[in-house]
């Protein structure tokens, strides 16, 4: 029988970050505060530190990425680490090498952290069970299941604009069923105590009843957005839906696209978020995506400081564990 897996140590500090499941409010608050500490004023040089001096961080991405991969690399470099960026599809895995042989190979090169994006559920935990005792695994996205640093950076962005999570109504809209972003946002925001979390989707994109505990479900976008403080838009995850080519983008936009008229139904101070990549004209119009209520670009910047915070936390906990 496989032994239970824990991504935290006996003191509740992170050894790996694979999911936000089981991560308590105290640790999330600590990571948000650490990330906020790295935020610099607009126009200033980016933050730098030596928390990862001497470390090597390897990005192993088996699915496309712009934001997550680039921000993990910048986060590692800005904290003093060396980095390896392996395009998994161009690595020796394409010649039949197993993931674990790839990991063992890089571990011999003294990699300290593996950041992994993969479409196969469970691969992150599998790797974490096999790495050496001082090596950490961070998820940069696991199938439709989990994208923990995205959930954290979304929470950071909301905190910067809204302060207290307690009174907030957050509406997440789109292909919830296939979205790891929605799952990690739900986990982070319910742990942080938002007043109400709503999910809005057509029936084919609504998750099963056993998921998204406590969330209010809406088929009608106009109803789900009414009075919302935060509107988080998602793209259709066509790569995870068999026959998704049949989804009509024009019809989808009519029912689930965020337009200025729809946004007017939300709270007047509502903020608009999107994890990217966006499909303009499908789930969101350009005037909203580039408009005054949009924090979509802020989310990207927060991705770097949030990933710096996670890496720095792992370094601090490793120092604390050292004899
Ligand atoms: N939000 C996000 O995960 O974007 P990328 O796929 O570009 O990394």
pLDDT in tens, 87-146: 887 778 778 888 999 999 999 999 999 999 999 999 999 999 999 999 999 999 999 999
Asked whether 59 and 102 are in contact (CB, 8 A), the reply is: no
Report d(CA 224, CA 169) in Å as an integer: 10
pLDDT band at 302 (very low <50, low <70, confident <90, very high): very high
Pocket test for ligand 1, best of 147, 148, 149, 275 (most atoms within 8 A of CB): 275
Each residue of 283-298: pLDDT tens digit?
999 999 999 999 999 9
Lowest mean pLDDT among 119-123, 151-155, 242-246: 242-246
3-state class (DSSP) for residue 305: helix
Provide the token pair at 322. 């050292």
Judging by beta carbons within 10 Å of its beta carbon (0-12, 13-18, 19+), is residue 82 exposed, middle or buried?
middle
CA 212 to chain centre: 16
Whether residue 259 is predicted with pLDDT greater than 70 in this model: the reply is: yes
CA neighbor of 225 nearest in space, from 193, 270, 189: 270
Q: Check if 68 has its Cβ closer than 6 Å to any atom of ligand 1.
A: yes
For the chain, give the longest Cα–Cα distance. Answer: 61
Q: Check if 277 has its Cβ closer than 6 Å to any atom of ligand 1.
A: yes
pLDDT of residue 165: 98
pLDDT of residue 230: 98
Whether residue 244 is predicted with pLDDT greater than 60 in this model: the reply is: no
pLDDT of residue 94: 79
Phi, psi of 278 (to 5 degrees): -90, 150
Percent of the chain with pLDDT over 90: 87
Cα dihedral: 304, 307, 312, 318 (round 10): -160
Each residue of 34-71: pLDDT tens digit?
999 999 999 999 999 999 999 999 999 999 999 999 99
Judging by beta carbons within 10 Å of its beta carbon (0-12, 13-18, 19+), is residue 238 exposed, middle or buried?
middle
- Output the pTM of the full model: 0.95
As a whole number, the mean pLDDT across the chain is 94
CA 154 to chain centre: 8
pLDDT of residue 139: 98
pLDDT of residue 97: 84
Peptide bond into 277 cis (omega under 30): yes
Mean pLDDT of 181-196: 98
Whether residue 281 is predicted with pLDDT greater than 60 in this model: the reply is: yes
Separation of CA 238 and ligand 1 centre (Å): 15
* Ramachandran sector of residue 7 (left: φ over 0; alpha: ψ -120 to 50; beta: rest): alpha
pLDDT of residue 203: 95
Q: Check if 184 has its Cβ closer than 6 Å to any atom of ligand 1.
A: no
DSSP per-residue codes, 178-247 = G-HHHHHHHHHHHHTT-SEEEEE--GGGSPPTTSSTT-EEES-HHHHTTT-SEEEE----GGGSTTGGGS
pLDDT of residue 246: 57
Separation of CA 68 and ligand 1 centre (Å): 5
Phi, psi of 96 (to 5 degrees): 105, 0
Mean pLDDT of 77-83: 98
pLDDT of residue 237: 81
Closest Cα to atom 3, ligand 1: which residue?
68
Cα dihedral: 190, 192, 194, 197 (round 10): -30
CA neighbor of 138 nearest in space, from 283, 322, 323, 306: 306
CA 271 to chain centre: 18
> Which residues neighbour 11 within 8 Å (Cβ) at sequence distance 6 or greater?
317, 320
Distance (Å) of CA 3 to CA 6, 8, 126, 256, 302: 10, 15, 12, 43, 36
Separation of CA 173 and ligand 1 centre (Å): 17
Phi, psi of 61 (to 5 degrees): -110, 120
pLDDT of residue 9: 87
Separation of CA 63 and ligand 1 centre (Å): 10
Separation of CA 175 and ligand 1 centre (Å): 15
């Amino acid at each position: 029988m496989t032994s239970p897996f824990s991504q935290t140590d006996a003191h509740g500090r992170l050894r790996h970050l694979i999911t936000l499941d089981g991560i308590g409010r105290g640790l999330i608050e600590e990571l948000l505060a650490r990330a906020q500490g790295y935020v610099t004023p607009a126009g200033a040089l980016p933050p730098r530190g030596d928390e990862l001096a001497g470390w090597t961080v390897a990005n192993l991405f088996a699915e496309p990425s712009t934001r997550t991969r680039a921000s993990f690399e910048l986060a590692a470099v800005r904290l003093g680490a060396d980095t390896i960026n392996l395009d998994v599809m161009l690595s020796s895995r394409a010649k039949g090498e197993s993931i674990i042989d790839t990991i063992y190979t890089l571990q011999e090169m003294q990699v300290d952290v593996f950041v992994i994006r993969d479409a196969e559920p469970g691969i992150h935990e599998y790797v974490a069970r096999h790495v050496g005792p001082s090596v950490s695994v961070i998820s940069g996205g696991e199938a439709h299941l989990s994208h923990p640093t995205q959930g954290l950076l979304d929470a950071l962005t909301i905190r910067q604009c809204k302060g207290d999570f307690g009174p907030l109504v957050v509406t997440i809209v789109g292909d919830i069923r296939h979205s790891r972003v929605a799952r990690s946002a739900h986990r982070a925001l319910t742990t942080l105590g938002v007043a109400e979390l709503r999910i809005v989707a057509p029936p084919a994109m609504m998750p099963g009843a056993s998921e998204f505990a406590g969330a209010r479900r809406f088929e009608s976008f106009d109803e789900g957005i009414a009075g919302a403080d935060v509107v988080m838009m998602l793209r259709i995850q066509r790569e995870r839906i068999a026959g998704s080519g049949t989804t009509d983008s024009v019809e989808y936009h009519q029912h689930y696209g965020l337009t200025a008229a729809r946004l007017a139904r939300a709270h007047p101070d509502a903020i608009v978020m999107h994890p990217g990549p966006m499909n303009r004209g499908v789930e969101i119009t350009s005037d909203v995506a580039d408009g005054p209520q949009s924090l979509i670009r802020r989310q990207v910047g927060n991705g770097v400081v949030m990933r710096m915070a996670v890496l720095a936390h792992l370094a601090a906990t490793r120092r604390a564990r050292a004899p």
